[in-house]
Chain A
C-alpha cells in the first residue's frame, strides 16, 4: 500500500440502482417478516416512500466492503459503528465513501458514510488494520 495520510479518501463504492429483488432474498435469509422490504403498497401506506426499503444489513455490508477494500481484505476491518440516518429505497443510487481521520501504528481510523440519491443515509466511524 502507498503511504497513508490523514485526509486520504476511500475509493467510493457505488451501486447505481438498488435492486428490489435482492431485498426479497435478504428477507428470506434473515427470516425478516417486515413487509417494508418487499411491499411497496405498505411503504406508501406508512408514508415512508414509494418503493421497498433496503435492509439495513445490506446498506451496512456495502459500506463495510468499501472499508475492507481500503484495508486490503475482509480481515482488515476491526470495528465499525454507524447510525442509520434515512432509508434507502429500491432503484436509488447508493454511494459509500470515507476518509482517514487518524493513524495509530497499523490502525487507521476512518469517518465513513453513505448516500442514497445524494441524501445522507449512513454515518459513522471504522477502524481498519492496514496490511
Chain B
C-alpha cells in the first residue's frame, strides 16, 4: 500500500485555543443524546465537543486539510477519551491539539482510505488542571486512489 499523500501532516500542531462551554449548549447536547440533565456536571461525552471547539479548526477545515469534501463519506474510525477531572458547564478550557498519524490503507469493503488521527488535550483554565484528553481517528475514503 502506498504512503498517504497527507503523511506530511503527522506531528503538525493544530491551532488550539480556549473554549468556554456554554450552559445552553451543554443542555442541547445532553438533550440531543438523550442524556440526563445536570447543571453542575456536564456529561463526559462533552469531552469530545470541548476538544473540537477548542482545536482551532472547524470540521470543514479539517476535511480541507485532508483534501476531502463534506460529502465524501468521512467516517469515525475510533475514539479514546481519558478523564482527569470534571467537565463543568460554563468553564473555560485551554485546548492543545496535534495530528498523531496518517496512514493509507485498503479494505475489501471500504476500498482505499486514509486513516487520520489527532489528539486534543483540554485543561480547565481556572484550575490549570487537565480535564480530558481525546484522540479521534477519522476515515477518509479515497475512491480516486
Contacts and interface: CB of A to CB of B under 8 A. Distances in A.
Interface of A: 15, 22, 25-26, 29-36, 42, 46, 48, 56-58, 60-62, 64-65, 68, 73-75, 77-84, 87
A32 B75 CA distance: 12
Given A42-B71, A57-B48, A58-B33, A82 B59 contact: no
Interface stretch (B3-11, B12-20, B34-42, B98-106): B34-42
A38 to B, nearest CB: 11
B40 to A, nearest CB: 10
B71 A61 contact: no
A34 B74 contact: yes
Interface in B8-66: 25, 28-29, 31-36, 38, 41-45, 48-49, 52, 58-60, 63
A29 B28 CA distance: 8
A74 B38 contact: yes
B85 to A, nearest CB: 9
Given A22-B32, A25-B28, A75-B86, A36 B78 contact: no
Contacts of A22: 32-34
B126 interface: no
Contact of B80 (A32, A62, A65, A80): A80
Contact of A80 (B70, B81, B86): B81
Contacts of B48: 57, 60
Given A25-B28, A31-B58, A34-B59, A61 B33 contact: yes
A80 B74 CA distance: 22
